[in-house]
Amino acid sequence: MDLDCLGSLILVKKLFPDHRLVRSRIIHPAARALYNLYGDYFDFLTPHDIGGEKIEHIIIVDTSSARRVREFLSCVSNSDPGITIYDHHPREDCDILGAVHAGKPWGANTTCMGKLAMDRGITLEAEEATIALTGIYADTGRLIYENVHREDLETAAWLLDMGASLRLVKSFLETIKEDDQILALNQLLLLCHTRVIQGHHILISYLEIEENIPGLAAVVEKIMEIENPDAYFAVFFIRKKGTILVIARSQKRRINLHELLTVYGGGGHQMAASLMLRNREGPRFWEEFLEYLERSLVPATRARDIMTKKVYTAREDSTILEASKYMEEINHTGLPVLNGEGRLSGFLSLRDIMKARRASLMHVPVRAFMTKNIISSGPETTMREVERLFYKHHIGHLPIVEDEKLAGIVTSWDFLEYKKQRKGLGTEDRVNGET
């Protein structure tokens, strides 16, 4: 049971008062604080309690995997209960036979239950609204992950109306609370380092710990936030058990963690995955794993992949007036300038033209007003470097030069379009919802 599961359950209780909630033995570390404080609101039965009963109907939330609900289903003695599933994960993954699906692929499963409650005009107590809103915030990265649908926002708004406390929601979302986690966070911050692999900035760390630390994934995510790499592979060697644990997070679709870790028998989502290996030697695995990453990462996007190849240019010896008319015609705000040999020699922006206009010098050659100290770069420039150059030099055009010839130009528009392509991830690709 994670926060989205608890959020869903509190609403199931309101939606289906003739059903009883049954709790799992396994509670996600991030959900423990909320569960401890609000236990009474759920009024849970245990799987053991339902042992001898005849069950008429079962509602399952936030999963469609038989393995995950085995602890409950194995307690059901009659063979014919109806099953309805409310799950926001892809339906193809369902292996519970005969179940009716009523879920929606929204950012949080709680949203699905919340929409039903909203549409039925159900009112909530402030505590129930807080629990539900925590569920939505948890699974949608506080409503910023790409899995967010308008329904998540609508339901969140409704829960605020019902009296949800954002102050409490915020405190329940604080994922790093335990001393062990804080210690691990500090150790990892000192240990981790960036390696450029295939043009990606990959953060890596290797840490040996005595025992498993609950909530390590939250620690890894916190480091991701601080260091902002393209991907982070945190390798742990748990000495007591001789176990390897890899927790990985990615911010790039090109670095598909599920694919990468499946090779070792792990997996998860595209942007969040993990791996557990028994009976391994830590240092040897670490070495082998780094080699594996070097071999397996798909090369990063480079300037050449996103640049506009058909570049409009001005000539050094044309007049400012000609260049300005041309710019207007093609609706551009800046032009690379070429010299007699066709080499890049400057950049003419609207600002330069304004200067010439103010000085009434529209008939002088472009060369007189163009910016000569131009920032340009090569075709192999990474996206991170492009962004840095834009930011550092306050520019929105980056000419790309290859063999001393202008090969293309990367504009801020090209760059934003590239960034946007990371959009459109389904719920299966959630960045760090639940692994």
10 Å CB burial of residue 422 (0-12, 13-18, 19+) is middle
- Closest distance to Mn ion from the beta carbon of 182 (Å): 27
Q: How far is the CB of 427 from Mn ion (least distance, A)?
A: 8
Judged by beta carbon, residue 62 or residue 152, the one nearer Mn ion is 62
Choices 9-17, 108-116, 257-265, 421-429; region in contact with Mn ion by CB under 5 A: 108-116
User: Shortest Cβ distance from residue 8 to Mn ion (Å)?
Assistant: 8
Tell me which stretch binds Mn ion (CB under 5 A): 96-104, 105-113, 189-197, 353-361: 105-113
Q: Are 9 and 37 in contact (CB under 8 A)?
A: no
State which residue, 42 or 347, has the beta carbon closest to Mn ion: 42
Residue number closest to Mn ion, CB atom: 4
Measured between alpha carbons, how far is 370 from 349 in angstroms, rounded to an integer? 7
User: Within positions 110 to 139, which residues make up the interface with Mn ion, using CB under 5 A?
Assistant: 139
**Binding region for Mn ion (CB under 5 A) out of 59-67, 112-120, 256-264, 403-411:** 59-67
Binder of Mn ion out of 4, 152, 316, 414 (CB under 5 A): 4
87 scored as a contact of Mn ion (CB under 5 A): no
- Kindly state the smallest distance separating residue 6's Cβ from Mn ion, in Å: 10
R_g of the chain, CA atoms, integer Å: 28
Q: Which is nearer to Mn ion, 4 or 152 (CB)?
A: 4
CB of 62 to Mn ion, least distance (A): 5
> Per CB under 5 A, which of residues 171..200 are in contact with Mn ion?
none
Could you tell me the smallest distance in angstroms from the CB atom of residue 250 to Mn ion?
Answer: 20
Q: What is the 3-state secondary structure (H, E, C) of the chain?
A: CCHHHHHHHHHHHHHCCCCCCECCCCCCHHHHHHHHHHHHHHCCECHHHHCCCCCCEEEEECCCCCHHHHHHHCCCCCCCCEEEEECCCCHHHCCCCCCEECCCCCCCHHHHHHHHHHHCCCCCCHHHHHHHHHHHHHHCCCCCCCCCCHHHHHHHHHHHHCCCCHHHHHHHHCCCCCHHHHHHHHHHHHHCEEEEECCEEEEEEEEEECCCCCCHHHHHHHHHHHHCCCEEEEEEEECCCCEEEEEEEECCCCCCHHHHHHCCCCEECCCEEEEEECCCCHHHHHHHHHHHHHHHCCCCCEHHHHCECCCCCEECCCEHHHHHHHHHHHCCCEEEEECCCCCEEEEEEHHHHHHHHHCCCCCCEHHHCCECCCCCECCCCEHHHHHHHHHHHCCCEEEEEECCEEEEEEEHHHHHHHHHCCCCCCHHHCCCCCC
Quick one: 180 or 428, whose CB is closer to Mn ion?
428
Which is nearer to Mn ion, 5 or 118 (by Cβ)? 5
Nearer to Mn ion, 6 or 216 (CB): 6
Pick the closer one to Mn ion by CB: 4 or 127. Answer: 4
Binding segment for Mn ion (CB under 5 A), chosen from 4-12, 18-26, 69-77, 370-378, is 4-12
Which of 68, 304 has the CB closer to Mn ion?
68
Q: Residue 140 or residue 345: which is nearer to Mn ion going by CB?
A: 140
The one segment of 43-51, 104-112, 268-276, 332-340 that binds Mn ion by CB under 5 A: 104-112
Closest distance of CB 218 from Mn ion, Å: 16
Letters for 252-281 (x = contact with Mn ion by CB under 5 A, - = none) are ------------------------------
Q: Is the dihedral of CA 356, 358, 362, 363 positive or negative?
A: negative
Work out which of 63, 64, 109, 427 binds Mn ion, going by CB under 5 A.
109
Residue number with CB closer to Mn ion (244 or 271): 271
- Name 253's Cβ contacts closer than 8 Å, sequence gap at least 6: 270, 271, 421, 422, 425, 429
Judged by beta carbon, residue 108 or residue 117, the one nearer Mn ion is 108
Among 62, 127, 152, 414, binds Mn ion (CB under 5 A): 62
Minimum distance of Mn ion from residue 137's CB (angstroms): 12
Q: Distance from CA of residue 243 to its chain's centroid?
A: 27
Contact segment (CB under 5 A) with Mn ion among 68-76, 107-115, 288-296, 381-389 equals 107-115
Q: Which residues of the shown chain bind Mn ion in the complex (CB under 5 A)? A: 4, 62, 109, 139
